Structure 1
Amino acid sequence: MNALILTLFLGGLAACIASGTSVLAALLFGLVCFAGQALLQGHGLHALAGMMWSGVRTIGHILCLFALIGLLTGVWRAAGTIPCIIHLALPLVDPSYFLLWAFVLCSGMSLLLGTSFGTVSTLGVICMLLARAAGLDEGPVAGAILSGIYVGDRCSPLSSSAALVSALTRTSLYDNIRLMWRTAALPLGLSCLAYGLLSPSGNAPVTSAISDTLEQHFVLNGWTLLPALCVIALSLLRVAVKKVMLVSIVLGVLICLLVQRLPLEEVLRCLVLGYASRPGTEMLAGGGLVSMASVGGIVLLASSYAGILEATGLLRGLRQAHAWLANRLGRVRATVLASIPLSAISCNQTLAIILVHQLCSPAHSNRSEMAMVLENSAVLVSVLIPWSIAGSVPCAALGVDASCLPYAWYLYLVPLLTVLWPAWMTGRRQGI
């Protein structure tokens, strides 16, 4: 029966991929399947509700954090914070090392925003437009951008995936980030070296037209950078992430009203529905509370599985297989390898993180180790699955296909180095 239930769930996921239906529909179908299995085993409705709540309560505060991320990404657009960062960053681009600069700039933007989709839809799109104008090969450029936008997705205090990992493993977000930066040094250095060596000579990208367009629609000065600067300063002081975001959102709203001179109703609409672009600023559209609705729904549904899967024993066989593999390869290597098929069937980063944690956490007695393995595997491996929205959505935004994935070297280097040197890449020197 367990095999049949899992087959039905995977079939629902496959049907969603084939039809283009939202993954939320497959998760709802899966919840019905798993709940039905629990009822057939004799668990009552009250017990079933308790199982679902036991999973949801572990990530309840994450839903609040997702809402704050949505508000922040909307107001940063309207306040001119993102346009100002782009305006200051583009003149730094050296056409002789375009791939390197695309990677570095997208990495920096993703660290500030904490979102891969927000970075690719703004600075990433601009870098691709410049590359096309210069006649550069789109594949390597898109790969460099894809690598860069996921640097912050792994290491930023504003990252929803980093917050989710911290909540699931019950570890400190800032402690995790400190370890992630230490373990990211080698893959970041190797990625920069590779993109620097591969950067072809091309015509100088024309950045003045983009800067002029941004200056026409926004007031760009030091005030507009305050929301980003406060995030950096307060994060260094290890202020709670929610407080950091609230301060940045309030500053953004004030700048919208006092510097950009936007009506209050337009600011409120940006907070909820996201920034509505004007002609010439289409790449800035997005953000807002509604932008996090889908990922919030995925987390809510997927987390409700946890208690049901435990009570019905659906994961027991898979955990035994993982334990067998861990005894032969080591628990870290076994978890990284397990993240590949789990990411393939998840179709998105959030569900991949939750499934890898549910399946592999019993093998890891150290919670910090589990957090680092999740960051080094499911967070990045899911991007390399061609049909996963973690990679397909950024590729669609850039106007390229999955042929750019082999050039996303940072996404390969982190899990590969974790397999080769698990003790170093999880922040521990022994016990792996």
Structure 2
Amino acid sequence: MEENLKKPSLGVSLAIVLFLFGCFVWQLITVGSPDVHMTLIFATVFAVVMLSVFTKTPLQLIEEGVIHGTKIATISMMILMFIGVMIPAWIAAGTIPSLIYYGVQIISPSVFLLTTTLVCSISCLATGTSWGTAATFGVALMGIGGGLGVDPAMTAGAIISGAIFGDKLSPISDTVNLSAASCEVNVFAHIKSVATATLPGYVLALVAAVFLGMKHSSGQINSEQVDTLLTALSTNFNVTPVYALISLIPMLLVVVLALRKFNALATIVISAMVGMLIAIVFQGYNIYDMMSYMNYGYVIETGNFDVDKLLNRGGLQSMMWTVSIGYLGLSYGGILEKTGVLDTLLFSAKAITSNARNLILTHMAAGIATIMLTASPYVSILIPGRMFIAGYDKLNIKRTVASRTCEHSGICIDPLLPWSLGAVYFSGVLGVSPLEYAPYTVLCWTVPVIAAFYAITGIFVWKEEPSAKGRENKKAAIKKEA
């Protein structure tokens, strides 16, 4: 059906996306709320009406777009739901309370943000998953930061900066392999190319962490408040060294299984179940308590407001607000992808890619626009990557420049958009909205700026070495583009 479908005109396509942008801008200016559910619904209805009236798009194809988008979302949203189940299991098992208890005693507030960035970087480099890093070390670090009196938005920003750094440079990262595959380059050559902008951005993120950490010197921390926190934790949980080590088993399971490339959803479920068993055996809970906690969130009244605020969280139901944004955003993106709106917009952009600077900047803009419209980092890699690869061949630019551009646009912006898959995930797991943590997610907004600077100046824009095979591939790519 799609082959015989009349593609929407540029005017119709622009009207659809500008309506969405207009709604978001109006909402941010007048309300300033990250609650974009109804905004996405209104934008979807407007897109359906425009496509039905001006392009005569059959409703069956629109429905296929919705199904396509939700199919992309399903596994990710299931992971998010089970992380909601896992968090209260970890709390009841003593995993998070133990990490907070010992973390606030070991980590200095002045270096907490720096430590957070480094820990999440190492974790993600080893496991290849920014989501797994946020769900394990990230959750624990949010609790430690709260105990030290660090702004949760700053902590979340440091966690995401570290996690995205590792995700962009780990050879077992899904986005790294997808970017390399979409541009048909070697994974390690791709990583070397990505590092040119990612490493400077990471250095800036570390500098920012040090600078922001100066606001939290040890002299500013209320030692009496910390002592009260430790007392409340030790009174309500078994945090003796032996039991603390036992309580770390659920977290270690996630790390080990991730390193072994075990299924992500199964890993989260196993960790949640093990946490539940530890809570029952070692912390004195019964199965009915755990079923309630894992569904509705952990609940405790310690008499200490700060402890209650740190630990009363999680649960399957707490993730439903976030899950619904994920489904709505990806349904909207699926409609635009299946009905040809994205093709129309991206093909129109190819007309201005006559030189390396324009090509890379247009590719970046297309990646950012794609993730803004589809809410999917994977789609923002695949569609612009395949769309512009012939342009790189035509200008004799190495394909590793194309593959890194896939990473420097959509992937970096992903955690910053309230409706995108990454932002939905991070905000749901860390409990901080993208509008709050975005200013502190230094790596995510500095890397695209550095990449754009390289494009404008020509730095690290490598040319392909001429060869018979290269000339043959170039001719084939140009012929295919024509």
- Structure 1 length normalisation: TM-score? 0.72
1:37 has 2:46 as partner? no
Query: Hey, what does 2:16 align to over in structure 1?
Result: 5
Matches within 5 A, 1:403-414: 408-414=441-447
Query: Hey, what does 1:360 align to over in structure 2?
Result: 384
One-letter amino acid of the structure 1 residue matched with residue 332 of structure 2: Y
**Which sections of structure 2, spanning at least 5 residues, go unmatched?**
1-10, 391-398, 456-460, 465-482
Could you list the per-position Cα deviations for residues 283-321 of structure 1 after superposition, in whole angstroms to 9, with x for gaps in the alignment? 222222223323322232233234532454433453135
Query: Hey, what does 1:135 align to over in structure 2?
Result: none
Flag the 1:29–1:230 CA change in 2: closer, same or farther, 3 A.
Answer: same
Segment of structure 1 superposing worse, 100-109 or 319-328: 100-109
SS class of match (1:261): coil
Query: Hey, what does 1:235 align to over in structure 2?
Result: 258
2:310 & 2:47 partners in 1: Cα distance? 41
2:109 & 2:293 partners in 1: Cα distance? 35
Could you list the per-position Cα deviations for residues 235-265 of structure 1 after superposition, in whole angstroms to 9, with x for gaps in the alignment? 1122221222222111011012111211222
Instruction: Report the CA distance between 1:185 and its aligned residue.
Output: 5.7
* Higher gyration radius (CA): 2
Match of 1:212 among 225, 231, 239: 231
1:385 & 1:316 partners in 2: Cα distance? 22
Match of 1:85 among 83, 88, 99: 99
Match of 1:283 among 291, 310, 314: 310
1:430 & 1:209 partners in 2: Cα distance? 62
Instruction: Report the CA distance between 1:269 and its aligned residue.
Output: 1.8
1:370 & 1:285 partners in 2: Cα distance? 45
Query: Hey, what does 1:381 align to over in structure 2?
Result: 413
Instruction: Report the CA distance between 1:49 and its aligned residue.
Output: 2.2
Flag the 1:57–1:131 CA change in 2: closer, same or farther, 3 A.
Answer: closer
Identity across the alignment (%):
21
One-letter amino acid of the structure 2 residue matched with residue 315 of structure 1: L
2:346 & 2:317 partners in 1: Cα distance? 36
One-letter amino acid of the structure 2 residue matched with residue 209 of structure 1: T
Match of 2:325 among 278, 298, 313: 298
Match of 1:265 among 288, 310, 320: 288
One-letter amino acid of the structure 2 residue matched with residue 229 of structure 1: L
State whether residues 124 and 145 of structure 1, in contact with CA within 8 Å, keep that contact through their aligned partners in structure 2.
Answer: yes
1:85 & 1:38 partners in 2: Cα distance? 53
How many residue pairs are counted as aligned between the two chains?
407
1:31 & 1:168 partners in 2: Cα distance? 29
2:329 & 2:419 partners in 1: Cα distance? 19
- Structure 2 length normalisation: TM-score? 0.66
Flag the 1:267–1:357 CA change in 2: closer, same or farther, 3 A.
Answer: same
Match of 2:271 among 248, 264, 269: 248
2:69 & 2:181 partners in 1: Cα distance? 13
Flag the 1:27–1:210 CA change in 2: closer, same or farther, 3 A.
Answer: same
**Which sections of structure 1, spanning at least 5 residues, go unmatched?**
133-137, 423-427
State whether residues 250 and 271 of structure 2, in contact with CA within 8 Å, keep that contact through their aligned partners in structure 1.
Answer: yes
Segment of structure 1 superposing worse, 295-304 or 107-116: 107-116
SS class of match (2:341): coil
1:287 & 1:76 partners in 2: Cα distance? 10
SS class of match (2:269): helix
CA RMSD of aligned residues (A): 4.9
Flag the 1:88–1:288 CA change in 2: closer, same or farther, 3 A.
Answer: same
One-letter amino acid of the structure 1 residue matched with residue 413 of structure 2: V
Query: Hey, what does 2:80 align to over in structure 1?
Result: 66
Query: Hey, what does 1:203 align to over in structure 2?
Result: 219
Matches within 5 A, 1:97-176: 97-101=111-115, 103-104=117-118, 114=132, 123-124=141-142, 126-127=144-145, 130=148, 143=154, 146-152=157-163, 155=166
